[in-house]
Amino acid sequence: MSGYLLAFLALAALSMAYIGNSRAKATHKAAVGKVHSRPIYHGLNVAIWTAVPAFVLLLVWLVFQSTIVNQLVLAGIPGSENFDPSASSILMSEVRQVASGNLFKEPSPEVKAAAAHYQSLQGIAAYLMAAAVAVAAAIGAFFGLKVIGSRYRARHSVELSVTLFMMFSSLLAILITLGIVFSLVFEAFHFFTKVPFTEFLFGLRWEPQIAMRADQVAGQGAFGVIPVLYGTFLISAIAMIVAVPTGILSAIFLTEYSHPKFRAVVKPLLEILAGVPTVVYGFFAVLTVAPAIRDLGFALGFEASPNSALAAGAVMGVMIIPFISSLSDDAFAAVPRAMREGSYALGATKGETIRKVLLPAALPGIVGGVLLALSRAVGETMIVVMAAGLIAKLTLNPLDAVTTVTVQIVTLLIGDAEFDNPKTLAAFALGLVLFIVTLILNLIALHTVRKYREKY
Amino acid sequence: MSVTASSDLNVGVPAINWQSDDMKSRRKRRYAADRRLQAYGLVAIIFALGFLAILISSLIYTGNSAFTQSVAKIEIDLSTGGIDRTKLADADWRGVVRGALRAQLPGLSRSDERKYFEMFTSSGQFILRDAVVADPSRLDRKSTFVIPLADPFDQLAKGQVSRDTPEAQRRVTDKQIGMFDQLVSKGIVSRPFNWALFFNADSRFPELAGLAGAISGSFWSLLVCFVISFPVGIAAAIYLEEFAPKNKLTDLIEVNINNLAAVPSVVFGLLGLAVFLGWFGMPRSAPIVGGLVLSLMTLPTLIIVTRVSLKSVPSSIREAALGVGASKHEAIFHHILPLAMPTIMTGAIISLARALGESAPLLLIGMNAFITSPPDGVFEASTALPTQIFMWADSPERGFVARTSAAILVLLGFLVLMNGIAIFLRQRFERRW
């Protein structure tokens, strides 16, 4: 339905643009003296008046329709006033299922009646929406056509609309951030009403496998974030141990030692590593790296877990190499030539220049890059979801399995849509932690990079 | 240190004999250190590229077998079968398939026969039915039907199941291998290109599972993502670059955009789950939600890329346009934007390629559902390529290992294609001022 309405609006806008254009041409021809805007602006103006208010109305309608229909249907079910929110949401989803014809068992007569009610309301709502949108478009078109005249400032009006759209678009960036913050804080707040804040922040046990139903056999549940955070930093640390030296050394080789042709070939190849989807790395870690580490550990007499932190961390490290490499590359390039040449003039070798002059001068930039890479490692999801473990453990052994924040978020939320038990809400609390940690890392990194750039 | 001790400035500093053995070995050490650093750099590059090579070659090694599928080509004469033409869907297709298979190896005992039927996909009846519904003239004549072998026998045909392993440790019995060899000697079994990988939707049986649902799901998501993020991203970039006054608010927006570009993708998934599914009540697993989440993710990158490319257009163009009487909007939309467009398109395609490979946010909004038909639009539940890979990687059947690698190769193929288009656009249309 809304698809047809969108097509209708697009078509209406196009035809109105054409009509407005030709009408303006006619008025301009008949006009005495100067005209203000070219005819096409009059056409565009009419098109904007036709489509934009109607489109906004359509969006608002779509957002509120389901809530209103649900309320009406719920009000029509006898005894529903006493339901708590989760019971009524379960009831409503059953009604929707019945209304769309998915019958798993014979529904009760109340549900059947509610489904019929739901269907009729949906039908009425669809017609009402179509009518409202059409009326809005017609009023807009009428108004737009009415103002056409040789002195009407159609160009200003069109440009104002465009500017407003552009302002809204740039405000969207803030809206997204606000959306992230509010949704995380909102759901996390619900979580903290069920699990005390201090237990979450300082608890040493993470066992979210709690009973979903009263009769289920499961643990008590413990929501202490420390072991999860610890696992995240263990895996990130392994990744950084792999990525930092490799990235910086490869950047040194590519900027200082290699032939330009070699660089032209190798640099894009390195960038491919950053372009490979993370799900591919995850599969590779499970399929190749983890068994290899296990075999190696076995040969050396160590017991390695099949989803060891080392496998996930090492693969993640390789993924991050290009970030560190290209950011160090930029940092080296920003060191002024004079410093390098001064060092050569004193008789230093290339290696000495790099170690004693270039690296210290580029250090803030490199540190910024490493922090950005660290934030990426902390937030990386697919590799650890596939290759790391599920059990939170406080261990220093990289061959043991640990879990991370992102793994827990994904496993807690897959296949669960109800926001009323601590298990799903815990994912949002973890998301909030992840957001704050990466935000701090990013801010420090961006600050370091910017401060360093002002230096030379 | 000085070179000449005779200089007045360096009275008292001992002369250095640069040719002494001491100095020679010192020089040697310094040069060795230099070469060592160079070698470390080379080793680092070889490590990274070697990893890439191992990654790609192991994927090709495990994935190539999924591009072919062992099938049995069986001739069935349906004109004698007594199929009711008015009720094609309800006919006894299972009986027809079993009869035809029985005719290939007659005289099996009951228990052997059961083992024999296990060698073929369990959905042979549906394949037959769909083929007849598509071409009813097959009811009047003898025609050949292609029935895929079940996964263990597909692997036997490909040599991935060794006949030397003890019978108890493999999924095919010695008797079944004997029957399989008989079928092969009759020339029924062949291994054509596995078109089903591209034209079938997901299935629990590896021999039938394909990527059609995932590819179209990814297509719809990317379409939504592009339709939203492209205009909004360009509009925001133009505003920030050309119109925005320098004040606290625009500074805040800029810091915001830089930060958003580095927010982990899984957080966007949480946003989509809480806002689009939770508050707006949008359908779960639908490409429209996936596309919305992906567009929020690509928006910051797109804004940054667009701003850079707008900046690269020289200001003389703008001034010339303003000089002949264009308004500020006209100068931007008629002159600067078209000149910046190739770079913007390159950036947009590269960010879409990133969005195509993104899976974490899609997992959270439920695009990892098991769905056996491709979606017809943006509101229907579907999977996407990366989430399909994730699901297959989790599947216990051995046939899915090869299929996961094959699906990854398909995904990488799309990525190479998109990046190739981006590079082509850049080289063909980009101007250096």
- Using the beta-carbon criterion (under 8 Å), do B267 and A431 form an inter-chain contact? yes
Look at residue A419 in the predicted model and tell me its pLDDT. Answer: 62
Query: Which residue in B48, B240, B329 is closest to A318 by CB distance?
Result: B48
Chain-centre distance of CA A178, in angstroms? 13
Question: Is any Cβ of chain B less than 8 angstroms from the Cβ of A216?
Answer: no
Instruction: Verify whether the Cβ–Cβ distance B33 to A349 is below 8 Å.
Output: yes
Residue B201 forms part of a structural domain: no
CA A100 → CA A94, A97, B243, B392, distances in Å? 10, 5, 49, 30
Same domain, B54 and B164: no
Phi, psi at A219, each rounded to 5°: -70, 175
Question: What is the C-alpha to C-alpha distance for residues A189 and A82, in angstroms, rounded to an integer?
Answer: 25
Residues B61 and B74 in one domain: no
Q: In Å, how far is A452's CA from the nearest CA of chain B?
A: 17
Q: Is the dihedral of CA B116, B122, B125, B130 positive or negative?
A: negative
How far is A82 from A252, CA to CA, in rounded Å? 70
Answer for the pair A173, B253: CB distance below 8 angstroms, yes or no: yes
Query: Which residue is it, tokens 């961390």?
Result: A313
Q: How far is A368 from chain B (nearest CA, A)?
A: 13
- How do residues A34-59 score in pLDDT, each as one tens digit? 888 888 899 999 999 999 999 999 98
Q: Please tell me the predicted confidence (pLDDT) of residue B326.
A: 92
CB contacts under 8 A, A 111-170 vs B, are 155, 159, 162-163, 165-167, 169-170
Taking an 8 Å cut-off on Cβ atoms, the answer to whether A443 and B259 are in contact is yes
- Residues B421, B354, single domain; the answer is yes
Q: How far is it, in rounded angstroms, from Cα B168 to Cα A431?
A: 47
B45 and B85 both lie in a single domain: no
Distance between CA A96 and CA B413 in Å, rounded?
40
Which residue would you say has higher pLDDT here, A246 or B134?
A246
A304 vs B: CB within 8 A: no
3-state secondary structure of A222: strand
The CATH code of the domain that includes B253 is 1.10.3720.10
Q: Are A275 and B419 in contact (CB under 8 A)?
A: yes
In a domain? residue B75: yes
Question: Which two three-digit tokens encode residue A420?
Answer: 């009323």
Contact between B273 and A413 using a beta-carbon 8 Å cutoff: yes
Q: Does B264 touch chain A (CB under 8 A)?
A: yes
Residue that is last in its domain, among B51, B66, B81: B66
Residue B28: strand, helix, or coil: helix
Q: What is the mean pLDDT of residues A104-123?
A: 80
Q: Do B152 and B45 lie in a common domain?
A: no
> Tens digits of per-residue pLDDT, A184-208?
999 889 888 888 888 888 888 888 7
CA distance B214 to A320: 28
Write out pLDDT tens, residues B273-326: 888 888 877 888 889 999 999 999 999 999 999 999 999 999 999 999 999 999
Give A321's contacts in chain B (Cβ within 8 Å).
Answer: 48
CB contact under 8 A, B233 and A169: yes
Query: What is the structure's pLDDT at B2?
Result: 46
B204 occurs within a structural domain: no
**Distance of alpha carbon B331 from alpha carbon B322, whole angstroms:** 6
- Residue A213 pLDDT more than 60? no
Give me the pLDDT at residue B124, please: 82
Domain that holds residue B102: 68-193
Which of B66, B96, B121 is the C-terminal boundary of a domain?
A: B66
Question: What does residue B393 show for φ and ψ, rounded to 5 degrees?
Answer: -65, -25
Give the model's pLDDT for residue B5: 46
In a 3-state reduction of DSSP, which class is residue B98?
helix
B351 at the A interface (CB within 8 A)? no
**What ipTM was predicted for this assembly?**
0.89
Q: Does B262 touch chain A (CB under 8 A)?
A: yes
Listed by number, the residues of chain A in 354-383 with a beta carbon closer than 8 Å to a beta carbon of chain B are 354-355, 372, 375-376, 378-382
Question: Is B205 within a domain?
Answer: no
Interface test with B, best of A38, A157, A158, A166 (most B CBs within 10 A): A166
Give domain status of residue B199, yes or no: no
Chain B contact set for A418 (CB, 8 A): none
Compute the distance between CA of residue B50 and CA of residue B56 in angstroms, rounded to an integer: 10
Under an 8 A CB cutoff, do B259 and A257 touch?
Answer: no
**pLDDT under 50: residue ranges of chain B:** 1-2, 4-6
> With an 8 Å Cβ cutoff, are B41 and A257 in contact?
yes
For A25, residues 6+ apart whose C-beta sits below 8 A from its C-beta are A39
Query: B357 at the A interface (CB within 8 A)?
Result: yes
Q: Indicate yes or no: CB of B264 within 8 angstroms of CB of A249.
A: no
Instruction: Indicate if B46 and B74 belong to the same structural domain.
Output: no
- The answer on B178 and B29 residing in a single domain is no
A414 or A348: which leads in pLDDT: A348
pLDDT for B88 equals: 74
pLDDT for the residue numbered B410: 94
CATH superfamily for A222-453 is MetI-like (1.10.3720.10)
In this predicted model, what pLDDT tens digit does every residue of A65-112 receive, in sequence order?
877 888 888 787 776 666 666 677 777 777 777 777 666 667 777 778
The domain tally of chain B equals: 3
pLDDT of residue B425: 87
Same domain, B83 and B59: no
Whether residue B415 lies within 8 A of chain A, CB to CB, comes out as yes
Q: Is residue B283 part of a domain?
A: yes
CA distance B179 to chain A (A): 33
Q: What is the mean pLDDT of chain A?
A: 86
Tell me, yes or no, whether B336 and B269 share the same domain.
yes
What residues does each domain of chain A span?
A: 2-152, 222-453
**Beta-carbon neighbour count of residue A59 at 10 Å?**
11
Report the C-alpha gap between B389 and B406 in whole angstroms: 9
- A272 to chain B, any CB pair closer than 8 A? The answer is yes
Q: How confident is the model at residue A384 (pLDDT cuts 50, 70, 90)?
A: very high
**Residue B207 belongs to some domain of the structure:** no
Residues B294, B417 within the same domain: yes
pLDDT value at A150 more than 90? no
- pTM equals 0.88
Distance from CA of residue B397 to its chain's centroid? Answer: 21
Contact B281 A386 (CB under 8 A): no
Query: Is A1 an interface residue toward B (CB < 8 Å)?
Result: no
Cα separation, A83 vs A249, whole angstroms: 64
B372-398 pLDDT, tens digit each: 888 887 888 889 999 999 999 988 888
A265 close to B (CB below 8 A): no
Q: Which one of B193, B221, B242 terminates a domain? A: B193
Q: Which of B268, B271, B352 to mutate to test the interface with A (most CBs of A within 10 A)?
A: B271
B233 touches chain A (CB under 8 A): yes
Which residues lie below 8 Å from residue B230, measured CB to CB, with a gap of 6+?
Answer: B302, B348
Q: Does a structural domain hold residue B298?
A: yes
For the record, the structure tokens of B241 come out as 């670059």
Pairwise CA distance, residues B290 & B359, whole Å: 10
Return the pLDDT at B1.
Answer: 47
pLDDT at B371: 84
Nearest CB to A417; choose among B284, B360, B368: B284
Backbone φ/ψ region at B82: left (φ over 0), alpha (ψ -120 to 50), beta: left
- Do B265 and B187 lie in one domain? The reply is no
Residues 63-82 of A with CB under 8 A from B: 63, 66-67
Contacts of A289 (CB under 8 A, 6+ apart): A311, A314, A315, A387
pLDDT the model gives residue A82: 67
Handedness of CA B247, B248, B250, B255 (dihedral sign): positive
**Interface with chain A: mutation pick from B62, B359, B362, B392, highest number of A CBs within 10 Å:** B359
Helix (H, G, I), strand (E, B) or coil at B347: helix
Chain B partners within 8 Å of A252 (Cβ):
37, 41
Which of A163, A354, A428 minimises the CB distance to B270?
A: A428
Angle between helical axes of A85-99 and A39-76 (0-180°, round to 10): 110
Chain B (187-226) residues lying within 8 Å, Cβ to Cβ, of chain A? none
- Chosen for mutation from B266, B390, B426 (greatest number of chain A CBs closer than 10 Å) is B266
B270:A438 CB<8 A: no
CB–CB of A283 and B30 under 8 A?
Answer: no
Q: How far is CA A424 from CA A433, B336, B364, in A?
A: 15, 49, 11
Same domain, yes or no: B142 and B88: yes
